[in-house]
Structure 1
Amino acid sequence: MVHDPFIISEILNNLDEFVAIRHQLHAHPELGFEENKTSDMVAQKLQEWGYEVHTGIGKTGIVGRLQIGNGQRSLGIRADMDALPIQENTGLPYASTYPGKMHACGHDGHTAILLAAAKYLANTRRFNGELHLIFQPAEEGLGGATAMLNDGLFDRFPCDAIYALHNAPGLPVGCFALKEGAMAASSDSVDIRLTGVGAHGAMPNFGIDPIVTASSIVMVLQTLVARNISATEAGVITIGMLHAGQTHNVIPEHADMKLTVRALSRETHATLKQRLHDVVQLQAQSYGVTAEIDYRTIAPVLVNTPDETLFLANLIREYAGIERLIQPPHGMMGSEDFAWMLEQKPGCYVLLGNGTDNNGGCMIHNPGYDFNDHILPIGASLWVRLVENYLKA
């Protein structure tokens, strides 16, 4: 590895230990709320290093608490732990040993990064205040953040600010991307059931066709962003599933649709939600069909708060150099349930370059993806510098 002055030498010296942990996690991926072995390993490591460990928060979540000195400030850093239901196709020696499960988003790396920082901070203790390391389950659309919040996360472990990172394929190794304001899109999942009247395909006049209704709804939904949202704002509506009927000559009673709705501002999110309900119900009424809508917000817009974002940006400028601090890619429509935590506490979410092309550039949620081990000490050094500066001794 090329020497990087941003990386803390002791973290680099211990890198093999945490790469081995990362590879162990990668070989044994666990889906959301099933991270039992992962949680056990995290808890064991934190206990060994002297943290006060709390388990079972949000089912399989972990919080490690370390109080140093008499400082009144408190800081939370979050890492996600869950894998995805994807069959791995990397051929790596540490590839998933569990069929149909894979760390295809780098959460194994995020966990190893925070553990590497945790060990260093426990050994050096060069801060004054209360540190909470939050290892979150079920980030991938299953509500792990809200589960931890519902278990009293911030009541039990008060935080003046919270931070999290995510690896970013396509961005150079060692670069950080962050900005104040909207950093990730909201994500809504919508299930629609249209109910008509079944009939023989040769006699459609005796039925009420939900397929025709669904087809009309699909086309009208494509206009919602174009004709309801400013051209300077970002929104997406995608119909991921449309299912109706079983054979050639029968008009079915039902048609089912599944959609994702995304937005980069709270105002756009509210507008798209309201207009989608209007369009579906009114289109259904016009065809004589009834519509049932199950609309669920998986994650709100992730909003970085000004002071906390500036604090982290200034640290990166000081220790890494301004050239390694870049603007996030324009119009990122991915979502992140750390947004729920940021609705309760000020904080910042930062992207860490995973590499480009064949060196870490494979996109996440892909069977060929792998977290780049070269960024592990960079991420760990970032968290150490944040703790030591935010909780100054």
Structure 2
Amino acid sequence: MPVVNRIADMSAEMTAWRRHLHSIPELGLDCHQTAGFVAERLRAFGVDELHEGIAKTGLVAIINGQGTGPTIGLRADMDALPITEETGVEYASTHPGKMHACGHDGHTAMLLGAAKYLAETRNFSGRVALIFQPAEEFGGGGEVMVQEGIMDRFDIAQVYAIHNAPGKDFGSFNTTHGAIMAAADTFHIHITGVGGHAARPHSCVDPVIAACSIVQALQSIVSRNRDPKDALVISTTQIHTGTTDNVIPETVYINGTVRTFDKEVQAMVVRRMEEIVAGQAASFGLEARLEFEYGYPPTINDDAKAGFAAEVAAEIAGEGAVDDNITPVMGAEDFSYMLEARPGAYLMLGQGEGAGVHHPKYNFNDEIAPIGASFFARLVERAQPVAGA
């Protein structure tokens, strides 16, 4: 079964929705215009319930099917990034310094397309909960929506999401069984020495030398403390210190990210970072303090749900266009909180060549919207068929 005919007929509508959303990007939990547009469309489609103001600007819409049954959740993220757009398209961002550089405008349009189709046809049992989430990029909107009780409140039994994938074959689906994306944690290291004249280093306690040593030592965690079979990334991304060439500064700030899939590996990293920071501080005779900030947990697909989602994707895209055994990536995604709360799966939808996500020249490929919307719609119909159908 290829793209659903009724959804294919909505292609122009979905493109118009997406391009309007692209022009009004919003950040974090403050997706007021976006949520207002989504709510207006959902009311026009005739959804049975519309719940607004979850996680500040998130929405959950309920569509009832035929007869009793469970509730399946479908999620789209709505927020943008603090990037100045360089696409040159006529529908470019009208909000300076903000841009839909990750395709969340497209994700929202795809779920709206599925919503319109499901509200018209209702060829499923039970209910579908359409989750429109703010603050995926930062702010953890997925966690906030779960904490505010959407899974229990709407009795969601399973939950799914898809993300566009530049560079992957157009219309292809990619997923895996188990972990598909990593946990994303942040570390901050504050070093305090004794500043002074750079020509008299013996009268100072140089925090710059200590910082260089700490950054190098952190990489020994990856190379010497981790089982080579366990995926781990430790990247130092910022070092801030000093003001001029002839002054040894008083302080240094180091910042970076840690990516893991396993809680035991994560705990080992925290322990070793604490030991390294304390040990290096003692060896250089200064003070150093580690702050470890836990971020999004790993995104872990339920094995059975990932297999089921891959079967549905194959109905839409064809068997040869679905890979359900991809290598997990070290990026992170706050859909992880929803998958911690309920079984489900996260999939990537290839959109062909073009600039990658989080790039100022990135643009969502509108031609994949009917494919994604068809996947969502068929997922509901397959998961919750009408009795006797």
Q: TM-score, normalised by structure 1?
A: 0.94
Give 2:256's aligned residue.
Answer: 259
Provide the residue aligned with 1:203 in structure 2: 200
Distance 2:290 2:385 in 1: 51
For 1:230, what is the secondary structure of its paired residue?
coil
Report the residue type matching 2:162 in the other structure. Answer: L
Q: 1:98 aligns with which of 95, 99, 103?
A: 95
SS in 2 for 1:160: strand
Q: Map 1:58-77 to 2 at 5 A.
A: 58-77=55-74
Q: Which of 348, 367, 370 is the matching residue for 1:374?
A: 367
Note the alpha carbon deviations across 1:121-154, whole angstroms, 9 max, x for none. 0000111112111111010022111121222222
Match of 1:122 in 2: 119
Alignment of 1:347-366 (within 5 A): 347-356=344-353, 361-366=354-359
Equivalent position amino acid for 1:308 in 2: K
For the aligned residue pairs, the C-alpha RMSD in angstroms reads: 1.5
SS of residue paired to 2:202: helix
Match of 1:11 in 2: 7
Aligned to 2:297: 300
Segment of structure 1 superposing worse, 110-119 or 321-330: 321-330
Residue 273 of structure 1: how far off its partner (Å): 2.7
The aligned counterpart of 1:232 is: 229
Distance verdict in 2 for CA 1:324–1:347, change over 3 Å: same
| Aligned equivalents of 2:110, 2:267: Cα separation in 1 | 36
Query: Equivalent residue of 1:85, what SS?
Result: coil
Q: Give me the whole-angstrom Cα distance separating, in 1, the residues matched to 2:268 and 2:385.
A: 43
Residue 149 (structure 2) aligned to one of 152, 173, 182 = 152
Among candidates 79, 90, 114, match of residue 82 of structure 1: 79
In 2: Cα distance, 1:80 partner to 1:319 partner: 22
Give yes or no for contact 1:238–1:259 (8 Å, CA) kept in 2: yes
Please report how far the alpha carbon of residue 285 of structure 1 lies from its aligned counterpart in structure 2 after TM superposition: 2.3
2:28 to 2, 19, 32: 32
After superposition, the Cα gap between the structure-2 partners of 1:170 and 1:327, relative to the gap in structure 1 and judged at 3 Å, is farther
Identity %: 45
Gaps of 5+ in 2: none
Alignment partners' CA distance in 2, 1:70 and 1:214: 64
Where 1:64 maps in the other structure, the secondary structure is strand
User: How far 1:233 sits from its partner (Å)?
Assistant: 2.5
Tell me by how many angstroms 1:207 deviates. 2.5
Between 117-126 and 246-255, report the one with greater CA deviation.
246-255
Contact 1:354 1:372 in 2 (8 A): yes
Question: Which one of 215, 240, 261 corresponds to residue 218 of structure 1?
Answer: 215
> 1:391 Cα shift?
1.6
Where structure 1 has 5 or more consecutive residues not aligned to the other structure, the ranges are: none
Q: 1:345 is matched with which residue? A: 342
Cα separation, 1, equivalents of 2:54 and 2:317 = 35
* Letter paired with 1:145: G
Separation of aligned partners in 1, 2:323 and 2:2:
16
Q: Is the 8 A contact 2:176 2:328 kept in 1?
A: no
Which segment drifts farther, 24-33 or 290-299?
290-299
Greater Cα offset, 63-72 or 95-104: 63-72
Residue 247 of structure 1 corresponds to: 244
Displacement of 1:328: 6.0
Q: What is the Cα deviation at residue 366 of structure 1?
A: 0.5
What is the aligned partner in structure 2 of residue 183 from structure 1? 180
1:33-52 CA distance string (max 9 Å, x none): 12100001111111222221
How far does residue 24 in structure 1 lie from its aligned partner after superposition?
0.4
Tell me the alpha carbon deviations over residues 312-348 of structure 1, each in whole angstroms, 9 at most, x when there is no partner.
1122234433201114653521111111111111110
Q: TM (normalized to structure 2)?
A: 0.95
User: What SS does the aligned partner of 1:233 have?
Assistant: coil
SS in 2 for 1:384: helix
Name the SS of the counterpart of 1:76 in structure 2.
strand
| 8 Å Cα contact 1:58-1:149 kept in structure 2 | no
1:68 CA drift (Å): 2.5
**Which deviations, in whole Å up to 9, do the C-alpha atoms of 1:161-204 show, x marking residues without a partner?**
11001001111111100111110111111121111222222332
Cα distance in structure 2, aligned partners of 1:63 and 1:291: 46
Paired residue secondary structure (1:121): helix
- Among 369, 374, 381, the residue aligned to 1:388: 381
Instruction: Look up the equivalent residue of 2:370 and give its one-letter code.
Output: P
Map Cα deviations across residues 75-110 of structure 1 (whole Å, 9 max, x no partner). 111100001111111111111122211100000000
Aligned residues: 385
Aligned residue in 1 for 2:323: 326
Output the amino acid matched with 1:262: R
